Amino acid sequence: MKFISYCSQAFCPVVSKFLIVTGLSLSFASCQWGDQIDALVQPDADDFTAVYSDTNSVVLSTLKLDSLMTGASSRLLVGQFSDPYLGKMHSTAFIQFSTTTQDGDRALTLPENAIYDSLGLALRYDGYYYGDTTQVMNVDVYELTSDLTLKTDLTPIQAIYNYHSTPYNAKAIGTAKIYPRPRPRSGTIGEGANRGEARVKISDVLGKKIFDSVKANKINNSAQWIELLKGFAIKASMGNHSVVGFTRNNTALRLYYHTPGAVEGITEDSLSTTLWANYNQTLGDRNGTVLSRLPDTYRSSLPSSQTGNISFVQAGTGIMTRLDFPGLGEYKYLNYTFANSAKLIIEPLRGSSSRSFFLPASLYAYIADKNNDYVTNNGSPVSGLTGVAAATLTTDLVNDRQYYILDVTDFIRSSFQNESLENYGLLLRTSSPIPTTSNFTMLDGNTEFSKSFDRIVIGDQANPNGRLKLEIKYTSIKAQ
């Protein structure tokens, strides 16, 4: 996605306020004690009109990003589900192991009298899920046939996106039926001992191959290991009803063995390798849905009038809603009008969410030009919200409603002051595009928008089951 670097005076009202206050302060400072002030004229209250409006027009459309950065994500996403609005979603995790540790490259070793038992893949839940986790998940593991970190010409891949794929053998080398248990056994959140594991037994053919190579001292560094095993593709077969998250740091390939003298049938020891590289392939099949004609380029959006008077935001597949405000042009005909506050109230379409398809915890809004390119300041997208990073989901149990309130005062105020901003709008997402860790420099690197499937369905102002409202409080001053 392209980013437009822009910081006009219209988007910096704080600067204007600062200059006014500074000017007044200097004027008062120039007065000396004892100076005479002849008169202070009290403004006539009739010259000011305070107005509240909640009938402002908001136009919705849906667009999809060309790509989302999913390489080196801290969460492995595995599974598939069918969304009643957005179609069939699926995620395949591609992983590669290494012998490298914090202390550097190492050789893998086994006792001389070690006897092979099995090879297993352990996946630790990180707590995230989307869809119906009460259904059994059929997980298949496939062996990669090429290094996922290299291009076909063997040059390094600088970034991996959600549409990427690495070749793998057609026959699975490991299969497991599991009932997802993403929730912790206690109140612990995130990684830790209280998170359960999903385990997949890997083919003994590969297990013995690795065991024999290690026992023969043929794995002395990561290059030799990757030559032996390129990695795995972990995917769910047809019929699954959820996508589940696993932690990158706790994913392990374990070679189990025992030595003579150990109790028969009980594993005495295991040899583990470190996850080295990974990415998620997060795709959706929208055939048969209202978004079947959604353009593959983010530069074109699909108006809600062509999608049943609804629009969508979905993480993982890069779907966003664009909001435009054509009615703001009418305010330019009002003399000396100043927006005091502006709030955008968004309620999800009634009946569109459930325990399986829950709403995102927050919504973020960013300013975009007519080509859907982010407006940026020093390389970072400019938020269309005032004073806060996001609007959080509010649940009103008394009135049985859920909603988000976005404070868009700065954006609306700037639009009042500058007619050239009429072609600018807001893009809604489920998280900030700016990575929160120093390990990522690319937009959407390891953000919730790139490693989850949270979504919201929004009804436009012509939809009787949707409630979308822009409230503006403004002051008009009579011309003298």
- CA angle 366/368/371 to nearest 5° reads 150
19-58 tens-digit pLDDT: 333 343 334 344 444 455 555 555 555 666 788 899 999 9
3-state secondary structure of 9: helix
Answer with the residue of higher pLDDT: 183 or 312. Answer: 312
Predicted confidence band of residue 120 (pLDDT cuts 50, 70, 90): very high
Length of the chain: 480
- What pLDDT is recorded for position 2? 52
- Strand 3-5 and strand 374-377: pairing? parallel
- What pLDDT is recorded for position 421? 82
- What pLDDT is recorded for position 48? 67
Predicted confidence band of residue 60 (pLDDT cuts 50, 70, 90): very high
Q: Which of 356, 282, 304 is nearest to 462 (CA)?
A: 304
Is pLDDT of 338 > 60? yes
Q: Return the amino acid letter for 242.
A: S
Q: Which of 408, 398, 389, 299 is nearest to 346 (CA)?
A: 408
Under a CB-based contact definition with an 8 Å cutoff, are residues 453 and 315 in contact? Answer: yes
414-423 tens-digit pLDDT: 888 787 788 9
Is pLDDT of 304 > 80? yes
- What pLDDT is recorded for position 1? 62
Per-residue exposure over 330-367, b if at least 16 CB sit within 10 Å of its own CB, e if not: ebeeeeebebeebbbbbbbbbebbeebbebbebbbbbb
Cα distances (angstroms) measured from residue 267 to each of 115, 215, 220, 448:
10, 18, 25, 38
- What pLDDT is recorded for position 36? 52
Least reliable range by pLDDT among 247-256, 305-314, 432-441: 432-441
148-171 tens-digit pLDDT: 999 989 999 999 999 999 999 999
Q: Which of 475, 364, 370 is nearest to 427 (CA)?
A: 364
- What pLDDT is recorded for position 271? 78
* Whole-prediction pTM: 0.87
In the chain, what are the domain boundaries?
47-66+296-477, 75-285
183-213 tens-digit pLDDT: 755 444 455 556 789 999 999 999 999 999 9
